[in-house]
């Protein structure tokens, strides 16, 4: 929307004159904070009145009858008052209302035009409420919102709008999965793929979410609480970190001849489902970024079996890399478990870690195997390194300037799960946890506006 500067200036002058009179005629001294707060409230009240008037003015002369969705006819009844909750507060407006069809349904065309539903929040407010819901706990969100909006919103309203954004994201993902399994769609994508990244990265991991126990039918006591895996996927690219922006850890990487890279253009996806179902999302979202067409597709992850099974199934030609820090950590565990003296621990660890750094995974396996007879953790390490030999050729990966750390996906787990779903006192059922996480992932991925656009056409009652 474009605004007439002259008109805005006249309105500002009137508001300024009003506040000048109030300050000079008042008996008590006003601070700049008082003036700001007063202006905000005045502008909010103006917004309430103006929005209501605008909506009422946009109501054209009613027709005597209009077509009903069922194919029948709706007859004009009267001008009817409605109320919605906007970014300014509760707004009242009038619009034509139609009824009288045999199907029993009524209709207000103005409401449909702007995606309004009486008693509900507007799409503009819905986006703000959901933003608060993905950033703060649902009981804390109303406090923050009141400080910004200057009116109260209920916890339930924030929860409803946040989860609704997650529902919209779920629907988009279902569509993506259906498209990715459609032969005609795939053929069209192969012919006109659009942007194809020269070197694309993918990472997957899982973070635990506490699901609150709920009583089953015919049972008085609830089940024990359950911890479920929120699987998270990230598609991203990499860029060199400028010298001035490097952290202490990144400077150490440079000293070890490790490329100092970081992720960019991250796009996140998540769900609480079994690995097979998550694989469909892996493929569908990969089609968006043309992962299968990328000349260099690199997957990073820890040693979880489900990750590498999915990667091997959907992207068999991808380079697979086990996160260096996870692998190195396994050696630390072995050293501490197998040797009682610190000097012996350090000597064994440094020697074995160097072999791993040089890509000599067979030597690492042998070193662990020697200790396995008397050390259970060493036995487990033998299996771990044996299952991931080709994913640990770190000398080759460094030579190719690949990322060898999975920090990007670990950060995703923290941002999506730890920082929101694991807040103190958080209690979740699976649908609520999934929808909140999906909404947060959409925000972090830069997809928020697309959800807001969908919400504009889909009002939701509260």
Tell me, what's the pLDDT at 429? 94
Which tens digits make up the pLDDT trace of 389-430? 999 999 999 999 999 999 999 999 999 999 999 998 788 999
Averaged pLDDT, 126-153? 95
Which tens digits make up the pLDDT trace of 288-315? 999 999 999 999 999 899 999 999 999 9
Dihedral-angle region of residue 237 (phi above 0 means left; psi in -120 to 50 means alpha; beta otherwise):
beta
- Highest mean pLDDT among 3-7, 187-191, 218-222 belongs to 187-191
**Among candidates 214, 188, 202, 355, which has minimal Cα distance to 267?**
202
Place of tokens 């941002």: 415
Q: How far apart are CA 300 and CA 322, in angstroms?
A: 6
Please state the three-class secondary structure of 400-427 as a single string: CCCCCCCHHHHHHHHHHHHCCCCCCCCC
pLDDT at 184 > cutoff 60 = yes
Paired tokens of 314: 């959907």
pLDDT at 251 > cutoff 90 = no
Q: Is 61 exposed, middle or buried (0-12, 13-18, 19+ CB in 10 A)?
A: exposed
Tell me, what's the pLDDT at 11? 87
pLDDT at 188 > cutoff 50 = yes
- Alpha-carbon Rg for the chain, nearest whole angstrom, is 29
Place of tokens 């202490």: 248
The DSSP annotation for 33-52 comes to HHHHHHHHHHHHHHHHHHHH
At 460, the pLDDT band (50, 70, 90 cuts) reads very low
Tell me the average pLDDT of the chain: 92
Q: How far apart are CA 82 and CA 96, in angstroms?
A: 10
Percent over 90 (pLDDT), the chain: 79
**Among candidates 440, 451, 392, which has minimal Cα distance to 416?**
440
At 326, the pLDDT band (50, 70, 90 cuts) reads very high
Q: Residue 387 in contact with residue 312, Cβ under 8 Å?
A: no
Output b/e per residue, 122-148; b: 16+ Cβ within 10 A.
Answer: bbebbbbbbbbbbebbbeebbeebeee
How do strand 199-211 and strand 296-301 relate by DSSP bridges? Answer: parallel
Paired tokens of 65: 């009858």
Annotated domain spans of the chain: 326-394
Tell me, what's the pLDDT at 325? 93
Q: Which residues pair with 95 in a beta bridge?
A: 80
Q: How far apart are CA 282 and CA 177, in angstroms?
A: 9
pLDDT at 377 > cutoff 70 = yes
Tell me, what's the pLDDT at 461? 39
pLDDT at 248 > cutoff 80 = no
Lowest mean pLDDT among 11-20, 243-252, 437-446: 243-252
DSSP H or E run through 148: helix 141-149
In 195-343, beta strands by DSSP E: 199-211, 226-240, 261-271, 296-301, 319-322
Tell me, what's the pLDDT at 241? 87
pLDDT at 462 > cutoff 60 = no
Q: How far apart are CA 132 and CA 426, in angstroms?
A: 15
Averaged pLDDT, 153-165? 96
Tell me, what's the pLDDT at 444? 97
Tell me, what's the pLDDT at 26? 66
At 212, the pLDDT band (50, 70, 90 cuts) reads confident
The values of phi and psi at residue 151, to 5°, are: -150, 160
The DSSP secondary-structure symbol of 243 reads G
Query: 152 vs 34, 162, 209, 247, 265, CA distance in Å?
Result: 20, 17, 30, 42, 36
Q: How far apart are CA 363 and CA 368, in angstroms?
A: 9
Paired tokens of 388: 């991931």
Cα 370 from chain centroid? 46
pLDDT at 318 > cutoff 90 = yes
Which tens digits make up the pLDDT trace of 52-95? 999 999 999 999 999 998 999 999 999 999 999 999 999 999 99
Averaged pLDDT, 248-253? 72
Question: Is the four-CA dihedral 278, 283, 287, 290 of positive or negative sign?
Answer: positive
Query: 322 vs 13, 96, 158, 352, CA distance in Å?
Result: 64, 63, 40, 17
Q: Residue 320 in contact with residue 308, Cβ under 8 Å?
A: yes
pLDDT at 459 > cutoff 50 = no
pLDDT at 124 > cutoff 50 = yes
Lowest mean pLDDT among 114-118, 326-330, 350-354: 114-118
């Amino acid at each position: 929307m474009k605004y007439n500067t002259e008109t805005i200036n006249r309105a500002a002058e009137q508001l300024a004159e009003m506040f000048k009179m109030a300050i000079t005629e008042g008996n008590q001294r006003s601070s700049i904070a008082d003036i700001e707060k007063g202006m905000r409230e005045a502008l909010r009240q103006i917004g309430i009145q103006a929005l209501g008037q605008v909506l009422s003015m946009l109501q054209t002369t009613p027709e005597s009858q209009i077509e009903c969705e069922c194919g029948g006819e709706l007859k004009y009844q009267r001008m009817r008052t409605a109320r919605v909750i906007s970014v300014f507060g509760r707004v009242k407006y009038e619009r034509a209302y139609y009824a009288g069809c045999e199907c029993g349904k009524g209709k207000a065309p103005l409401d449909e035009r702007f995606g309004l539903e009486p008693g509900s929040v507007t799409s503009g407010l819905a986006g703000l409420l959901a933003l608060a819901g993905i950033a703060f706990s649902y009981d804390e969100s109303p406090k923050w919102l009141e400080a910004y909006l200057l009116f109260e919103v209920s916890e339930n309203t924030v929860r409803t709008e946040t989860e609704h954004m997650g529902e919209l994201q779920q629907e988009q993902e279902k569509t993506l999965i259906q498209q990715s399994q459609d032969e005609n769609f795939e053929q069209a994508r192969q012919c006109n793929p659009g942007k194809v990244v020269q070197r694309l990265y993918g990472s997957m991991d899982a973070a635990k979410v506490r699901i609150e126990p709920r009583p089953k039918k015919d049972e008085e006591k609830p089940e024990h609480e359950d911890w479920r895996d929120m699987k998270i996927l990230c598609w991203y690219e990499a860029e060199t970190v400028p010298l001035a922006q490097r952290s202490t850890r990144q400077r150490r990487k440079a000293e070890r001849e490790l490329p100092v890279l970081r992720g960019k253009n991250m796009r996140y996806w998540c769900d609480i489902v079994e690995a097979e179902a998550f694989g469909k999302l892996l493929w569908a979202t990969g089609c968006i970024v043309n992962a299968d067409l990328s000349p260099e597709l690199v997957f990073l992850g820890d040693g979880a079996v489900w990750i590498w099974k999915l990667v091997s199934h959907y992207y068999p030609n991808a380079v697979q890399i086990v996160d260096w820090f996870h692998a190195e950590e396994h050696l630390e565990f072995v050293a501490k478990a197998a040797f009682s003296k610190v000097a012996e621990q350090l000597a064994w660890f440094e020697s074995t870690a160097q072999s791993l750094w040089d890509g000599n995974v067979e030597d690492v396996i042998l070193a662990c195997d020697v200790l396995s007879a008397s050390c259970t953790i060493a036995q487990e390490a033998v299996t771990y390194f044996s299952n991931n030999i080709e994913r640990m050729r770190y000398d080759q990966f460094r030579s190719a300037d690949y990322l060898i750390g999975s920090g990007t996906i670990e950060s995703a787990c923290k941002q999506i799960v730890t920082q929101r779903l694991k807040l103190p006192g958080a209690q979740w059922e699976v649908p609520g946890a999934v929808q909140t996480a999906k909404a947060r992932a959409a925000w972090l991925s830069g997809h928020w506006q697309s959800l807001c656009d969908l919400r504009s056409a889909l009002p939701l009652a509260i």
